[in-house]
Amino acid sequence: MAKILVTGGCGYIGSHTLVDLIDNGFEVVSADNHYNSAPSVLDGIEEITQKRVKNYTINLCDLEATRQIFIDHPDIVGVIHFAALKAVGESVEKPLLYFQNNLGSLLNVLACMKEFEVKNLIFSSSCSAYGNADELPVTEETPFKEAESPYARTKQMGEYILQDFAKKYTDFNCISLRYFNPAGAHESAIIGESPTNNASNLVPVITGTAIGNRKSFTVFGTDYETRDGSCIRDYIHVMDLANAHTKAMEFVVNGKNEKNSEVFNLGIGAGVSVLEAINAFEKVNDLKLNYELGPRRAGDVIAIYANYTKAAKLLDWQPKRNIDDIMRTAWEWEKVRNVVV
C-alpha cells in the first residue's frame, strides 16, 4: 500500500481526507501540532476506519522535526500539505505570522521531499487566490486578481513556489487544489468541523445558532447585485473534497499526469446565496433560524463559484453531495459535538 504523509491531518479537511485515503487503500501518517485541531480526532478516525493513524505533533516550521518524519518513514511516496493558518480576518491582523507559518512550512516540506526523493505533492490552495474574479464560473485559467487578504496571498505565493519548483525538478509532481467553500461533516457524525469558539464561516455559524451556542447571527449584506441581494458561494461537501485529494494522489502516484505541475478547482459549480443556504438549512432540518439582515462584511467577494470540468476529466472526480447534504450532516455533527457527557 502506498504511504502518504498528510500534514494538518487532524484538521477539518485533513481528517476527512485521512478517512477517504484509508477507505481507498492508502497507508497514512499525519503531522499536526494541534494549533487548530484536537488529538481526539484520531480516535474518531480509528472508530470510522479501524485504523490508528500515527500523528507527529510537530511544528512544520521546525525543519529537523519535519525531516525526522521522512527518516522514520522512507516509504512515503507522496505528501498532502494541508497544514496552514486559514482565518482570513486573523491574517489581516497578523500578516507576518501568516507568511512565516504558511510559507515556512511549505518550504520545509518541499526541502524534505527533495532530500528524501518523495516525488508527489498535493497542495491545499483556495478559491480566495482568485480575488474578485471578472468572469464566473472561474476556470483554472482565470487570472488571479489582487488577493483580498494575506491568507489569500499565501495561497497565491504557494502556487507560484510550486510552479518554479516543478519547472526545475521535472521528476517531481506538484498539484494545487483550489477549494471553494468546504462545509458539512462525515455521514457518521463522528468527525466534522470543530471551529474555535469564534467560528466565522457561514455553516458553523448557522449550526452554532441552531444549537443555541449563539443567540443569532447576521447576514452580511443583502444589497449586492445578486438574485436575492446576498453573496453567492460554491459550497462543497467536505467528503467530496476529501475524495478529490485521494483522486489527485492516485493521478500522480499512478503516473496518469502528463504535466508535472497542475491546478484544479474543487467546487461543485453551483452558486448558492447566503439566504438560499439559510433556507436549505431550515427546510432540511425543519428548524427556524434566528438571524438579522445587516451591513456588508469587508473583504467579501460578491460571487464566486467553480467550473470543475478539469478535475472531472483528469481526476475522474465527481461531487456527489449538495447544499442539502451539507446542511443535514453539519447539523447532525453539531448535535453530537454538543452532547454534554
Pick 26 or 208: Cβ nearer ligand WQD: 208
Q: Given the residues 12, 151, 235, 305, select the one marked as catalytic.
A: 151
Which of 85, 112, 162, 231: binder of ligand WQD (CB under 6 A)?
A: 231
Q: Which of 6, 20, 333 is nearest to 185 (CA)?
A: 333
| 102 lines the binding site for ligand WQD (CB under 6 A) | no
Among this protein's residues, is 169 annotated catalytic?
no
| 186 lines the binding site for ligand WQD (CB under 6 A) | no
CA distances from 244 to 21, 69, 106, 251, 317 (A): 10, 25, 21, 10, 6
Is 231 strand, coil or helix? Answer: coil
Say if residues 272 and 227 touch (Cβ distance below 8 Å): no
Residue with cell 452532547: 339
**What would the x/- binding string for ligand WQD be over residues 270 to 299, using CB under 6 A?**
----x----------------------x--
Is 184 strand, coil or helix? Answer: coil
Say if residues 233 and 186 touch (Cβ distance below 8 Å): no
What does the block give as the cell for 18?
485521512
- Span of 20-28, 32-40, 114-122, 213-221 interacting with ligand WQD by CB under 6 A: 213-221
What does the block give as the cell for 154?
499565501
Q: How far is the CB of 299 from ligand WQD (least distance, A)?
A: 8
Say if residues 169 and 163 touch (Cβ distance below 8 Å): no
Pick 77 or 219: Cβ nearer ligand WQD: 219
| 233 lines the binding site for ligand WQD (CB under 6 A) | yes
| 202 lines the binding site for ligand WQD (CB under 6 A) | yes
Report the sign of the C-alpha dihedral through residues 328, 293, 197, 180, in that order: positive
The DSSP output letter for 138 is: B
- Span of 70-78, 137-145, 218-226, 319-327 interacting with ligand WQD by CB under 6 A: 218-226
- Span of 52-60, 136-144, 214-222, 242-250 interacting with ligand WQD by CB under 6 A: 214-222
- Span of 33-41, 165-173, 198-206, 305-313 interacting with ligand WQD by CB under 6 A: 198-206
Q: Which of 39, 59, 42, 60 is nearest to 50 (CA)?
A: 42
Which of 40, 57, 132, 200: binder of ligand WQD (CB under 6 A)?
A: 200
Q: Binding residues for ligand WQD, per CB under 6 A? A: 86, 88, 126, 128, 179, 181, 200-202, 205, 217-220, 231, 233, 274, 297, 300
Q: Which residues are catalytic?
A: 151
